[in-house]
Amino acid sequence: MAAAIGPDAAGRWLMHRRPVGKAHAGLWEFPGGKIDPGEGPREALAREIAEECGLALDPHAMCEVGFAADDPGAAGGPRPVLLLLIHCPTWSGEPRSLEGGEWRWLDRQEIRGLPKPPLDRELAARFFD
Ligand SMILES: Nc1nc2c([nH]c(=O)n2[C@H]2C[C@H](O)[C@@H](COP(=O)(O)OP(=O)(O)OP(=O)(O)O)O2)c(=O)[nH]1
């Protein structure tokens, strides 16, 4: 699950830089994480964002806007990844780094220029262009 959190009053979106030691370290992503057993996608996203940066998202305001999947033919990791992008227009709080990643509010143009993992690149191109 990946969250497009925004726009804020300045038209910016919240992006997360993956910490050292994780897959795609140093690259910028739509923040989020995986669904735990027994959770729905929106609930999982709200939990992950609260854990990672302390923001409270409103699951009722969320809207699914796109997805990106690994190329099934590509030689790759241990499991296929399907990333669902959810627009989160309503939140409360200010992001803090609770799990080592970096957080920044950025506009579309800035997000375009960020180094991103492949699926986030696809999601950003579709969501912003
Ligand atoms: N955001 C993102 N994640 C990707 C891409 N390709 C890809 O294999 N992944 C993997 C990396 C992570 O294992 C997983 C994203 O889940 P996560 O945000 O919970 O990552 P994580 O490193 O904290 O989780 P883990 O795998 O260590 O349990 O998907 C991609 O293009 N974008």
Higher local confidence (pLDDT), 129 or 102: 102
Ligand 1 centre distance from Cα of residue 58 (Å): 23
Omega before 7 cis (within 30°)? Answer: yes
Q: How confident is the model at residue 107 (pLDDT cuts 50, 70, 90)?
A: very high
Q: Sort strands 56-57 and 28-29 into parallel, antiparallel or unpaired.
A: unpaired
pLDDT of 78 reads 73
Task: Tell me if 33 CB under 6 Å of ligand 1.
Answer: yes
Using CA atoms, how far apart are residues 125 and 48, in angstroms rounded to an integer? Answer: 23
- Report the candidate in 127, 90, 103 with the shortest Cα–Cα distance to residue 32: 103
> From the CB of 117, is ligand 1 less than 6 Å away?
yes
**Domains annotated on the chain, with CATH:** 2-72+88-128 (3.90.79.10)
**Ligand 1 centroid – CA 24 distance (Å):** 8
Task: Verify whether ligand 1 is closer than 6 Å to residue 34 (CB atom).
Answer: yes
Q: Is 81 in the pocket of ligand 1 (CB under 6 A)?
A: yes
pLDDT at 79: 81
Dump pLDDT digits (tens) for 40-94. 999 999 999 999 999 999 999 999 999 999 887 776 667 889 999 999 999 999 9
Phi-psi region of 51 (alpha: psi -120 to 50; beta: other; left: phi over 0): alpha
Counting residues of the chain whose pLDDT is more than 90, the rounded percentage is 91
Question: Residues 59, 46: contact at Cβ < 8 Å?
Answer: yes
